[in-house]
Structure 1
Amino acid sequence: MTSSSRANSNMEKFLRDWRQDAMNKAQYDSAIYIGDKLLAMTRDDNDAFFLAQVHFAAGNYTRAHALLAKHGLITSRNASCRYLAAHCLIKQGLFGEALGLLGEYSVVHLFGGNQSHNGPKRKTREGGEGEGREGTAHRKYEAAMCFLRGLCYAKQNAFDRAKEAYKDALRIDVQCYEAFSQLVKNNLMSPDEEDEFMQSLDFGSLTTRDDKGGEPDEEAGDYVHMLYQTQLSKYRHPMAFNTAIESLTTHYGLEGNADIMLARADQLYTQCRFRDALAVTEGILEGDKYNFGVYPIHLACLYELRKTNVLFLIAHELADNYPEEPASWLAVGIYYFATGKIAEARRYFSKASMMDANFGPAWIGFAHTFAAEGEHDQAVTAYSTAARLFTGTHLPQVFLGMQNHAMNNMTAAEEFLKTGYGLCRSDPLLLNEMGIVCYHQDRAREAAAFFREALKVAEETESDSTAWLGARTNLGHAYRRLKMWEEALGEFDAVLREGGKDAGVFAAKGLIYLDLGQAGRAVEVLHEALGIWPQDPVATELLGKALEMSMETGLGLGGEQGLEELERFEEVIEQRKRAARERVARRGRGGGSVDKGKGVAGRGGGTMRRGMGRGQGPWAAGDIDMSDEE
């Protein structure tokens, strides 16, 4: 080597070290300046690719793409160059051009694991590298290109193709977390699909070796599998989820990790344990209040617990300091929704959805605003959009069923609920709604089966028992219609023990006692019902029947003594009515009450579980209203 060659070699090393040092310090202008001089000196494709990467990191997407094109790297057979070029196009919003560069097919010969594909047929893209040239880096870039292909399809609203592209990315490289995140974050897979897909992934390919080069250890694969397990649907396999959480926290020290804590909060929220979930999300935000992924569940819990003052403070702070974040406007929308300002809530939910078209909480909140105002047609349209965007979750189908039920369109309601049931068979809310539809179609035995299943699932998942009092009440009504009097009374008594006094439940008990010919006991429980809600029309009518039956049968209310007893009874009722009116006047009956109508309690809005709504707010598990049938 001549002295001139040695000098150039030394200078190239010096410039590369300088360039790398600038990159490490995020001094992109320095890295670009030095990288340009190095490229002029070497004219090496590797230096050109590195300089394009620096431009990309600095946000110079057009320059990065132009540099790759100038050096002929876009048309090269190198997967990393094609990936970077396509990524530049996506950052510029040129999704069609990016897809043209990426191609429409995945390289199936790179798939690992036990694969069985039911999606569209794939083939090896022309010009792809052969088996002999494959390596770890090539495989990872091919997986990354599948991920980019999925982003392009999603932007074109081809969600089925996007889902398959994301799945292909993981089939090629199980460590492509970006693709996995898109699948679970956007609810593209049903719980059954998640199970099947997880079993097909090649976690066994992830191994580690000790420093002495011993046998490969598959612990890494188990670790990644557990991490992914925590991100899956919380409606299925609670034991597997708890096992993964325990192992990650006990053996790997992740007890304080925000993602693990958020997964736990997500599970608690699906179980309607809102206070517990809120405690977890508050812990996350204390450590990192800029973790915007926590806010949908955090805000939902605050709504469920009616903490409007806290909602106001959070919404105000986020809107002032982070107006570019969709979660900020979601917070504003939920606050307005919680305070009954539906039009304002709709405007801010819409704003959040326009900032991020895949932000599920905003879409569902937007739909709930129409439902809260009884605008069923608009609500159906909005929920249908959510169902199209988030094909793997059952909740939009549940809300569509609720809306059709509210419009007394039972056939359509049942179809939507059946579709939801096909996606998820273990959500008590869905099971309860299916039972209500069956009940109003005079299929009381089927209704009772659904109500029992809802309560069984809620118990197995350790859900908050008070959240499912509606399902237990409905089961009592189903037993009543089936003339299973003792079973019905048992369910109603359980509701009263767990949920306190409820006028509707006392009225239902009164009806049962009338059916059993026990007018005296009917008068007693109907007295309790009217003491809670003096204007209850059902209890008032039943009380008249009970008193009439008592006088006719002489069950302690006949003759002069009966008339005196009746007068005293009516006087007590009037006193309770006056006291109730005074209580109502003091606190306002409208706020926070549950509207029991057409079988579902309140057709109002919802909060977000992975962007979807549920809970014990105004869209909670519905109650059967006896006024619909008697």
Structure 2
Amino acid sequence: MEKHLREWRTTAVNKNQYETAIFVADKLLALTKDDNDAFWLAQAHFRTGNYSRAQTYLSRGQLIERNPQCRYLHAQCSIKLGKIEEALDTLGEQNPTHLISQPDNRHHKLRHVDVNVRSGRHKAALRSDRVPTSEEREREDSTSLKFEAGMCYLRGMCFAKQNAFDRAKECFKTAVQIDVQCFEAFDELMSNALMSPAEEWAFLESLDFDMINVEDNPSLSQEAAEFTKTLYITRLSKYGRPAEFTDAAETLSTHYNLSDNPDILLSKAELLFTNCQFRNALALTSYVLKTDKYNFAGIPIHVACLHELGEKNALFLLAHDLVDNHPQEPAAWLAVGTYYFSIHRIAEARRFFSKASVMNPHFGSAWIGFAHTFSAEGEHDQAISAYSTAARLFQGTHLPQLFLGMENLQLNNLSLAHEYLNTAYELCKDDPLLLNEMGVVFYQEENFPAAIEHFQRAIAIAEQNEADHDALLPTRNNLAHALRQSGHLEEALDVFDEVLRHGDKDVAVFSAKGLVLLQLGRSWDAIVTLHEALAIDPQATLATDLLNKAFAENESEPIANDEEEFADLDRKVKGRLAGQGKALDSMMLDSDI
């Protein structure tokens, strides 16, 4: 009879007929009094949203104390009911670090374990205070280890809801170290940027993928371990080791036929976006959304690409579709906020970014977008406050620190700008936008050699990443101004020419080029260039003044070439350099936050 009832129950669960499963499981539990049957019944109630009833069954007969599966499900119910303290009371606040498996600890290691503290009031001290790590793992069956890892994950979720992010991070790390297949914990670490790119790679190398066992077959187990590690590499920050990511993606695409897999394609799109290849990234995200229209993991990167490329109509249609069909998803309101941000309706954008962040307090894109709205209106104090919140929530990414530096640069707080940008640089040394902003600070401090070095590094990295030409124009323009100030006039002229060849016709760039030509004594060329500037904006005061000087010099009248003659230009140039870097901040809306 028990076998018949279990088959009936399993069939009902597989068909999503949970009322049938509950009806049968209730009779089966009455017959067997078995812990596993009690767990199945509670799980059926959990899947129907009856969390309190599930806890009622789990609380019978000390199931929570003796069965890790039941303790795990009981804590899950508490979290669903919003009872975070109750969940922590069930789980205990300490992680079972004695169960951690590492690649290089095949020999026995002794670790001090306070089991009573870890398990709270529910679990008796079943182990000695000092036990060999490897022996301890061997005593646990694989199912128990997986549920121990799952409880570390739930413990981390509880701490995250309490804004104790350092403790949450340690819980998530322990969960993956105990069971490398606990992807939920790994994804929390990566998607919420709880570690810097360097820390992510160090953590990946510390994981023991050899714990994966497939049918006790060493060959299959080794292949599964390598496959899992390769998959995890594609989830790491795209600011670190792009070559390793490319190799991993290629392996998954060719050896495992995952070239069209949405997760792999979205990872490639993130790398392209990071490298400022917005159109190529958009092509990949569009392909993914064509086959999986409501893939919410891909919505933030897709929205960011549309924004960078000025695709306002596409943003409008996407936002309407998402809100009409999935208003409960934060990504839908992110799309709405980004659309309003794109058409410069900042108040509406702020409202919808705020709504998305309230729906998911750990939604990095929404927090950054919310802060951008204050920056766009020049409300620097509120922007700094919002970016500071993002920096506290997402400690592993450099972007909030970068934006804080940019805001302080706008306020001419150069020492604070330096501090924030240096903090961002410690987290990520290969972001062209960050290097550009550091160059702007050095320019403002009149440390032109350092400014030139940073601008050149930013351009070199962007070119190596095959970034779009348009993304490089502000940095090239900044480099040209720094070269001019350093007296490298011929080099500055070449860079200004390159900016004008690849970019929009800008009166300020023509004016700066005219100034360089004047300094080189090429007055007639300066006259031609300044006429082009005035053709764009006849009211450009600076271009008019420079044109008068060029005419005078062309008539063989001596022109003073000292700093006072060009003080007005220099002030405007400095303001322009700071502004140009800031204009690029919206490209980071989706970022690794």
Deviation at 1:502, TM superposition (A): 3.0
Contact 1:513 1:521 in 2 (8 A): yes
Structure 1 segments unaligned to the other structure (5+ residues): 1-10, 556-594, 614-630
CA–CA separation in structure 2 for the residues paired with 1:487 and 1:197: 45
Task: Go from structure 1 to structure 2 and tell me whether the alpha carbon gap of 1:72 and 1:543 turns closer, same or farther (over 3 Å shift).
Answer: same
Could you give the per-residue CA deviations for residues 379-438 of structure 1, whole angstroms, max 9, x where no partner exists?
111111111111111111111111111111111111111111111111100000010011
Paired residue for 1:110, among 80, 93, 99?
A: 99
Could you give the per-residue CA deviations for residues 554-593 of structure 1, whole angstroms, max 9, x where no partner exists?
99xxxxxxxxxxxxxxxxxxxxxxxxxxxxxxxxxxxxxx
CA–CA separation in structure 2 for the residues paired with 1:380 and 1:19: 56
Which range moves more in the overlay, 130-139 or 387-396?
130-139
Deviation at 1:466, TM superposition (A): 2.2
Deviation at 1:314, TM superposition (A): 1.4
Map 1:268-283 to 2 at 5 A. Answer: 268-283=272-287
The aligned residue for residue 119 of structure 2 is none
Map 1:188-337 to 2 at 5 A. Answer: 188-208=194-214, 217-337=221-341
The aligned residue for residue 183 of structure 2 is 177
Contact 1:364 1:386 in 2 (8 A): yes
Deviation at 1:458, TM superposition (A): 0.7
The aligned residue for residue 71 of structure 1 is 61
1:353 corresponds to 2:357: yes
The aligned residue for residue 172 of structure 2 is 166
CA–CA separation in structure 2 for the residues paired with 1:487 and 1:374: 34
Contact 1:106 1:124 in 2 (8 A): no
Task: Using the aligned pairs only, state the percent identity.
Answer: 53
Deviation at 1:596, TM superposition (A): 6.8
Paired residue for 2:506, among 496, 502, 509?
A: 502
Deviation at 1:552, TM superposition (A): 3.6
Q: Which amino acid aligns with 1:188?
A: L
The aligned residue for residue 400 of structure 2 is 396
| Structure number, greater radius of gyration | 1
Task: Go from structure 1 to structure 2 and tell me whether the alpha carbon gap of 1:163 and 1:461 turns closer, same or farther (over 3 Å shift).
Answer: same
1:606 corresponds to 2:583: no
Map 1:78-157 to 2 at 5 A. Answer: 78-114=67-103, 123-126=113-116, 127=125, 130-131=136-137, 133-157=139-163
Could you give the per-residue CA deviations for residues 106-139 of structure 1, whole angstroms, max 9, x where no partner exists?
22222122589xxxx9845333664552121121
Deviation at 1:607, TM superposition (A): 4.9
CA–CA separation in structure 2 for the residues paired with 1:360 and 1:500: 32
Q: Which amino acid aligns with 1:47?
A: D
Contact 1:359 1:611 in 2 (8 A): no
1:19 corresponds to 2:9: yes
The aligned residue for residue 370 of structure 2 is 366
Contact 1:108 1:124 in 2 (8 A): no
Contact 1:38 1:47 in 2 (8 A): yes
The aligned residue for residue 497 of structure 2 is 493
Could you give the per-residue CA deviations for residues 2-55 of structure 1, whole angstroms, max 9, x where no partner exists?
xxxxxxxxx111111111111111111111111111111122222112211111
Q: Which amino acid aligns with 1:53?
A: Q
CA–CA separation in structure 2 for the residues paired with 1:233 and 1:541: 49
**3-state SS, counterpart of residue 416 of structure 2:** helix
CA–CA separation in structure 2 for the residues paired with 1:217 and 1:160: 33
CA–CA separation in structure 2 for the residues paired with 1:526 and 1:97: 72
**3-state SS, counterpart of residue 62 of structure 2:** coil
Which range moves more in the overlay, 180-189 or 544-553?
544-553
The aligned residue for residue 54 of structure 1 is 44
Could you state the TM-score of these two structures normalised by the residue count of structure 2? 0.90
CA–CA separation in structure 2 for the residues paired with 1:207 and 1:42: 32
**3-state SS, counterpart of residue 72 of structure 1:** helix
Contact 1:397 1:420 in 2 (8 A): yes
The aligned residue for residue 382 of structure 2 is 378
The aligned residue for residue 563 of structure 1 is none
Contact 2:474 2:581 in 1 (8 A): no
CA–CA separation in structure 1 for the residues paired with 2:558 and 2:404: 51
RMSD: 2.2
CA–CA separation in structure 1 for the residues paired with 2:540 and 2:510: 11
Deviation at 1:312, TM superposition (A): 1.4
Contact 2:357 2:367 in 1 (8 A): yes
**3-state SS, counterpart of residue 292 of structure 1:** coil
Contact 2:5 2:28 in 1 (8 A): yes
Task: Go from structure 1 to structure 2 and tell me whether the alpha carbon gap of 1:139 and 1:214 turns closer, same or farther (over 3 Å shift).
Answer: closer
The aligned residue for residue 44 of structure 1 is 34
Contact 2:304 2:590 in 1 (8 A): no
CA–CA separation in structure 1 for the residues paired with 2:511 and 2:163: 51
Task: Go from structure 1 to structure 2 and tell me whether the alpha carbon gap of 1:139 and 1:400 turns closer, same or farther (over 3 Å shift).
Answer: same
Deviation at 1:209, TM superposition (A): 6.0
Could you give the per-residue CA deviations for residues 598-618 of structure 1, whole angstroms, max 9, x where no partner exists?
6222756625554569xxxxx
Paired residue for 2:549, among 545, 551, 566?
A: 545
Could you give the per-residue CA deviations for residues 486-507 of structure 1, whole angstroms, max 9, x where no partner exists?
2212222222222253322222
**3-state SS, counterpart of residue 606 of structure 1:** helix
The aligned residue for residue 25 of structure 2 is 35
CA–CA separation in structure 1 for the residues paired with 2:233 and 2:218: 29
Q: Which amino acid aligns with 1:356?
A: N
CA–CA separation in structure 1 for the residues paired with 2:576 and 2:484: 19
**3-state SS, counterpart of residue 238 of structure 2:** coil
**3-state SS, counterpart of residue 361 of structure 2:** coil
The aligned residue for residue 562 of structure 2 is none
CA–CA separation in structure 2 for the residues paired with 1:534 and 1:128: 85
Task: Go from structure 1 to structure 2 and tell me whether the alpha carbon gap of 1:201 and 1:182 turns closer, same or farther (over 3 Å shift).
Answer: same
CA–CA separation in structure 2 for the residues paired with 1:612 and 1:339: 25
Task: Go from structure 1 to structure 2 and tell me whether the alpha carbon gap of 1:255 and 1:135 turns closer, same or farther (over 3 Å shift).
Answer: same
CA–CA separation in structure 2 for the residues paired with 1:40 and 1:82: 21
Alignment coverage as a number of residue pairs: 557
**3-state SS, counterpart of residue 22 of structure 2:** helix
CA–CA separation in structure 1 for the residues paired with 2:229 and 2:65: 36
CA–CA separation in structure 1 for the residues paired with 2:340 and 2:85: 39
1:419 corresponds to 2:423: yes
Which range moves more in the overlay, 599-608 or 466-475?
599-608
CA–CA separation in structure 2 for the residues paired with 1:357 and 1:458: 32
CA–CA separation in structure 2 for the residues paired with 1:268 and 1:344: 30
The aligned residue for residue 567 of structure 1 is none
The aligned residue for residue 559 of structure 1 is none
Task: Go from structure 1 to structure 2 and tell me whether the alpha carbon gap of 1:486 and 1:346 turns closer, same or farther (over 3 Å shift).
Answer: same
The aligned residue for residue 625 of structure 1 is none
Contact 2:459 2:476 in 1 (8 A): yes
Contact 1:374 1:603 in 2 (8 A): no
CA–CA separation in structure 1 for the residues paired with 2:86 and 2:471: 50
